[in-house]
Structure 1
Amino acid sequence: MRDMISLMFHEHNMSVSRSVMQEYFITYEPQLVRQRKANRLQRRRFWAAGVNDIWAVDQHDKWLRFGLALHTGIEPFSGRILWMKVWHSNRNPQLILSYYMETVENFGFIPMVTQSDPGTENFGIANAQTMLRQVNDPSLQGFVQHRWMRTKKNIMPEIAWSQLRRRFAPGFEGLLNEGVDSDWYDPDNTLQLMVFRWLFIPWLQQELDNYQARINNTRKRRDKKKVLPHGIPELIHTCAADYGALDFKVTVNRGAIDHVRQLYINPNHAVFELVSPPLSAFMELCYNELGRPPVERETIWTIYRSILELIRQCEEVPAILMVIDANDTVENGEMALLEGLRNLPETDYYMGGVGNGMGLQPEHLTALDAFEADEPHVDGNYNEIDAEPLLFAEFSDAEDDEHDEHGLDDRP
């Protein structure tokens, strides 16, 4: 309910009351209300420390049937979405690492640990996070600074995907299915797939960017069962002290970032190409010939079909398709994990990196008591990066329900 109100305000500059929106959903979307009330998710619990203790990453494969692959990074304590990406792959370790490195470059810092499901696509992030942490703290030598989460334990990204599927995906899936059901688009047809990628992926990425901005700048509903700070995720992430929380970010210099990027990412790898350069240039010419119409929900399939028809009329299509086939064979590539490293110690609940994975130490409790009492900070003998006081936070996959009795879809 509040998501749709926020959508109307941020994207359409319309202020709609809750009662009006509630009446609309009860009248026109009763199945969504029933689905919301069903609350089918089962609770699972997850403990973390303060802001930037953990960054959790995960892929989402529900749109692979359209040739679309999703990936996200979440800062669990604040709930801030760090990235929400759509591309034609989410299994290439260089591609996944590029999302992490782009975020690190923008922020200028890294978390204490990163976290993901097991999978070779995450080896790049695990290696980069470990190297950057060890540059700042040599005492971490011998331990990988990444948590490998087993099945059904990477909870915060699961929550993000659940929210996306309820708030964002249904309307867009309807649009995508329209093309498939109308026989305009067959993902197994190479030319159709390439035109689809070239047109739909940039547009969908813009829509995901807007969705990310709305989530990051919308206050979450208070929940007395959680000890998370209550507020706007982006503000909690950037101003942790204002919410009684600690920020564990580890500042990294540009030289270290550039070194890791050069070591692990080949910018000329085919996975970074939306489509092959010759075909991209030709589609740009076709788009120009159409007068560069705005790409919107109402026009995107018409533009797709028009570009496809112009390409089919071209005598150079067979040569272009040969280039596509040559590039399309290059998919994931391999990346080895750093050798000789042990996993961080594991506890029953704590999954962060404070205390080299062990969590709260006595000096943290002392500092936290002073912090909660709003007393002046007393300098200790501990490193401010690795051992600031922290506040444990609990998450569960009921996070996305938060006592709202009415459902919604963030339809385009």
Structure 2
Amino acid sequence: MKILEINKYFFIKGGAEKHFFDVADLLMENGHEIASFSMKHKNNLPTKWEKYFLSTVGYTSEYSFKEKIRGIFRMFYSYEAKNKINKILDDFSPDIVHIHNIYHQLSPAILFEIKKRKIPIVMTVHDYKIVNPNYNLFHGNKFYNRCRDGKYYQCFLDKCIKNSYLKSFLAMLEIYWHNSILKTYEKNVDVFIVPSEFVKTILIERNIDKNKIKVIPHFIKNIKEDKHQEEIEEKFALCMGRISKEKGVNKILDIFQKIQGIKLYLAGSIENNFKIPDSGNVKYLGYLSEDMLEKYIQKADFIISGSQLPETFGLVALEAISHGKPFVGFNVGAYGEIIKNGENGFLVENAKEMEKFVKSIVCGKIVFNEMKIGQDAYLKYHGDMYLKKIEKVFIFKTNSIMEYK
């Protein structure tokens, strides 16, 4: 099958990009022909498909004024996106299109061009952007639910995007344009793949057709053998991903200031000028390659996260248990579908409870069977299971479109 995989970034920026590349690799390994459509960026991985990629846009300080302005227009429509997507559709002629994150940098306008050709569109949902201006559903340090039932104006009133009236106003206009006026996703997406029952519930509550939603959890790649010879003698817990207040890293740092006998290792990119304290109990590893990150996961005593965002799945938790490591985090989002207290980690309600469990693990009061954690995770989340489920969706939708034609 010829599959066009689409995501706005073509480098590993976060969990969505990791899954995007993992899925493409899995499909190619099993005989499918894959093309990629994305945006040009200085950090992109090399690919023969880059000639079809859109020009760079962005909204942070790393982007030029011109790129920011172009990005604002692309939120609503882009002639460049229209032309480039048609070019790759002409040259590659996919049987199906699988989209991931496309808003802002790629423009949802591409969906109308794909649908004109009666090519089925499957979307993997990585966040809540298609139903809420605030893609995290998190504002003011709590679950953000005030935009339900199409009340997107609440985003502007609450400054739900980075506490900015301007950014919130643009996000409000964008979602009114795509959801209320054009109905971009409703009209064009044939199947929404969600990684958890939690996300399915959120989408149904916000008027996504339940018959279009398919739950397919993310999967585990084969664990690579550790070829690094150097040993890490000290005990440590690993916190990985984006190093930011938004991800609750400050909460983890506060806890480890009170704990003796174990260090906290941080791995990932620092965001929003987050300050890591100069402490002998904390070690910042920087942004690690996939191989190096695996090394540290395998050597860690456990994996910890301070995020209180309503996670759509929890790739960090999956990474942990796939390596046989217990996961400690807050009981939010879809984590409860992956982590069972006492079996493969702990989910807690507050920082005090997290501190208690961390101390119990460190002093040996709580011991986990790492081999069983890894085996159970493999049985539930191995790639073959994911492949069968997503191929079933692809084949069903392709056959349906062919009958319609």
> Do Structure 1 and Structure 2 share a fold, with TM-score over 0.5?
no
More helix per residue: 1
TM-score using structure 1 length: 0.27
Higher RCO (C-alpha 8 Å, min separation 6): 1
Larger radius of gyration: 1
TM-score using structure 2 length: 0.27
